[in-house]
Structure 1
Amino acid sequence: MRRLWHAIGLLPLFTAMPVYAQLVPGLPPLPSPLSPATLSPDRVLGRVAERAEDATGQAAQRLESLRRSAAARLVREYPDRIALDPDGFPARAGEVVVDDPDAALFARIQEKGYAVLAREDVLGVRYARLAVPSGRSLRQGIRELQKLGASGVTADQLHAPSGSVPARPAPLVAGSGPFVGVIDGGAAGAGLRAGFASGAPRDNDHATAVASLIAGAGPVRGGLPGARIASADVYGSDPAGGNATAIARAIGWMVQNRVSVVTISLVGPANPVLAKVIAAAQTRGTAIVAAVGNNGPAAPPAYPASYPGVVAVTGVDARGRVLIEAGHAGHLDYAAPGADMLAMAANGRAMRVRGTSFAAPLAAATLARFYPEASPGTLRSAIARVDATARDAGARGPDPVFGRGIVCEPCRTPTQ
């Protein structure tokens, strides 16, 4: 069975109550079969409490069916913007990415009819975005470029599905503390803002909820009150936003602004360009924190959480249990509250949230408390200080369920 987009299993549920994670806010609404009611984890994971073992297997099958259906619907709805890559992941239609082609390769590529959309250099990682000639699929384009001698050829995969935001999100609490980065949609009230998609930056509910859990907003206390938010909007109004190269450029912007800790509550497939940019950011002292996703433990490993050195975070409920829908990564560092809590929503309302998207910012806030400035030489000691705050759970010592422990438990703003 082909793998399908990790993020697509839970689509635009942030428009419902409670809000769920790994969702793309602020994009044009999807067809009715992809409505919150259709894809709600409460329906997919309905009778878990009564028949946990059976429900887990049923949920995995249901999520896989939803991922395939949603991917097909996305392509049908936006055929000129979204296509499936050779592995079945949604990607920008008609575009491929090539790792640092030289002049001779460029000449061969252009002779075959490929147009150069952009040549980019992010933190020393050079790549080119190319338009596939009309009449050729992404699969055909990738194969042809590989035969021409191109290396690192890939589609520009998306990292989340689309969903609309009903109203303007509530602003964050203004602070004077360290900047913490949020790569997502646009976070209202952020101290630094930039856009990496058409129509960006644009305030977005999911991103503002993530940011509120870092800096605080309204009744939500936040993991690091007084922190300032650096918001990189990789979605804007583009149905094919959230692509790997947009995230890569957003990371480059964070490094340029010396943001020490960046959180990414988005998931997608492995991408060689994004992997290199993350590695380059890490050498410059930027710590990347990422959620493991919400497509269940049987889903493929989530990225960027699975890239080496990324701080991978899962979510737990108020009783300290790992969320039944939590995905996994190639490694796990921490667990943090991801359910039975509040974050800020549209119209200034506090709303219940659930998902590993909302655990990652609490872990990021904890790390930023001990790592306020990007400095490669001090990151290890900062992580050790985070480890010292973590409550050991599950098997004694580090384990694949809770990582090195649960962090930021007092950061939860209870729903009751």
Structure 2
Amino acid sequence: MKFASPWIITGLLFAGPDAQAQLLPSPGALGQVGGVVPGVLDRIEGAIDETGLGGRSDRLAERLVSVRAAHIGDLLRRHGDLIELDDRREPARRGVILLTGVKETSIEALRSTGYGIESQAIEGIDLPVIRLTVPQGRSLAHALKQVRLIAPEAVASADNLYFPSGPANMVPTAALASNGSVKPRAAGLIDGGVARHPSLMGSIEQRGFARGAPRASSHGTAIASLISGTGIVRGAAPGAPLMVADVYGDDPAGGGAFAIARALGWMAARGVGVVTVSLVGPDNPLLAGAIRLAKDKGVTVVAAVGNDGPAAPPAYPASYSVVVAVTGIDGRGRLLPEAGRARHVDFAAPGADMNAARTDGGKGRVRGTSFAAPLVAGRLFVTGSLDALRAEAKRGRTSGQGWGSGIICDSCRNMD
């Protein structure tokens, strides 16, 4: 299965069941690509409506894993000059290692070993970072082990990639939403760019943190509408001004930990209090540190638990203790069978049987925990505190850890 762009599979969201059936690989496709990306689990959601898969959750999970594995395999084959697997076999930007807490003597030792050295500071959260360029011919996995031996005092990680949990294809023909400067107290969104849409009438400021960014994307537009939409799509905080960080642009290796950390710094510097991150990927020390430092500056990150299913490893950044983790429910109030898990779940919100904005100016059905997170973030932006949000939460159909404190914005489905 070939893709026109690294995110094209997520464009299935607005396709009908027949088109979905034609584009989805057979369950056997997983075996064909498993040797390329062993251990990589599905980290996309919202791409498939259950009507296209006969309503069987086990089949849904199998197809999602197949699509995800095929996508990663294709991404590595087509963009191997930009992307490779790290020492945990997680996708990352090729030949880049991120260091924090490194001594000057270790920097000199790394330089003498052939590593390129670039010092950067992430503004807004005061986080100094050394970006190492791996010598040509050395794999990222091998280089990480070597760097940790040379600089044992430092924290070294790959620039891991985080994937949007829904329709993330960039739309070159779609105009960006107003790209002026918003006043203080805006809601934050780290995702793809946001397209102009009649429901997005509030002020929107967009900044790029990847090559070619900001550019309009399906996923960013849908998420933005569920935060601050008015009109045909009404968000949880109607009319709220938005600050949007596009960490993808047209870069096949977009969505890296370093880009997300820089985006958090930008928002912290501008006084943003609530940031939606409907992206999923592995644990990453740099991203974890950036989120903690942003929290110290008053930034609360709200993240989706992903769509890998309850048996998958915990997804990040939702699994970080200072992040508000959100799962999804359907129109009957049931937890989504494909919903992933985090080390904790704080809230549930609608993630199926609902509409969101499309880049063509209309609205369309969406599915996945990705679309639950902005509803929680929007209500947190309005209420101003987690205690107030907990008081607002409704009990789920059953008690248990999977629901967190309860359901937020149960009526926010835009189905009319």
Instruction: Give the structure-1-normalised TM-score.
Output: 0.83
* Aligned match of 2:146: 144
Give the structure, 1 or 2, with the largest relative contact order (CA under 8 Å, sep 6 or more).
Answer: 1
* Aligned match of 1:296: 309
Identical columns (%): 43
* Aligned match of 1:5: none
* Aligned match of 2:32: none
RMSD of aligned residue pairs (Cα, Å): 2.8
Structure 1 position 293, deviation (Å) = 0.5
Task: Give the conservation status (yes or no) of the 8 Å contact 2:169–2:218.
Answer: no
Secondary structure of the residue aligned to 1:41 is: coil
Count of residues in correspondence between the two structures = 375
2:17 aligned with 1:16, yes or no?
no
Q: State how 1:69-80 maps to structure 2 within 5 Å.
A: 69-80=70-81
Secondary structure of the residue aligned to 2:306 is: coil
Aligned to 1:286, which of 283, 295, 299?
Answer: 299
Structure 1 position 48, deviation (Å) = 4.0
Give, in whole Å, the separation in 1 of the partners of 2:7 and 2:25: 10
* Aligned match of 2:171: 165
Structure 1 position 98, deviation (Å) = 1.3
Structure 1 position 121, deviation (Å) = 3.6
Secondary structure of the residue aligned to 1:298 is: coil
Task: Give the conservation status (yes or no) of the 8 Å contact 1:170–1:217.
Answer: no
Per-residue CA distance 1:345-367 (angstroms, 9 max, x = gap): 12101111111111000000000
Give, in whole Å, the separation in 1 of the partners of 2:390 and 2:15: 29
- Structure 1, gaps ≥5 residues long: 1-9, 21-32, 50-54, 372-381
Task: Give the conservation status (yes or no) of the 8 Å contact 1:186–1:200.
Answer: yes
Give, in whole Å, the separation in 1 of the partners of 2:228 and 2:262: 24
2:112 aligned with 1:105, yes or no?
no
* Aligned match of 1:179: 186
Q: 1:142 to 1:296 in 2, by over 3 A?
A: same
Secondary structure of the residue aligned to 1:206 is: helix
Give, in whole Å, the separation in 2 of the partners of 1:290 and 1:362: 11
Structure 1 position 59, deviation (Å) = 4.8
Per-residue CA distance 1:212-237 (angstroms, 9 max, x = gap): 11111540011111201100010111
- Structure 2, gaps ≥5 residues long: 1-5, 27-46, 197-202
Q: State how 1:8-407 maps to structure 2 within 5 Å.
A: 12-18=8-14, 37-38=24-25, 41-42=48-49, 46-49=53-56, 55-56=57-58, 59-122=60-123, 123-150=125-152, 151-160=154-163, 163-165=169-171, 167-168=173-174, 171=177, 178-188=185-195, 191-371=204-384, 382-396=385-399, 399-407=400-408
Task: Give the conservation status (yes or no) of the 8 Å contact 1:245–1:274.
Answer: yes
Residue type of the partner of 2:323? V
Per-residue CA distance 1:171-190 (angstroms, 9 max, x = gap): 58x99894110000112355
Q: 1:385 to 1:106 in 2, by over 3 A?
A: same
Task: Give the conservation status (yes or no) of the 8 Å contact 1:394–1:402.
Answer: no
Task: Give the conservation status (yes or no) of the 8 Å contact 2:83–2:91.
Answer: yes
Instruction: Give the structure-2-normalised TM-score.
Output: 0.83
Structure 1 position 18, deviation (Å) = 3.5
Residue type of the partner of 2:106? L
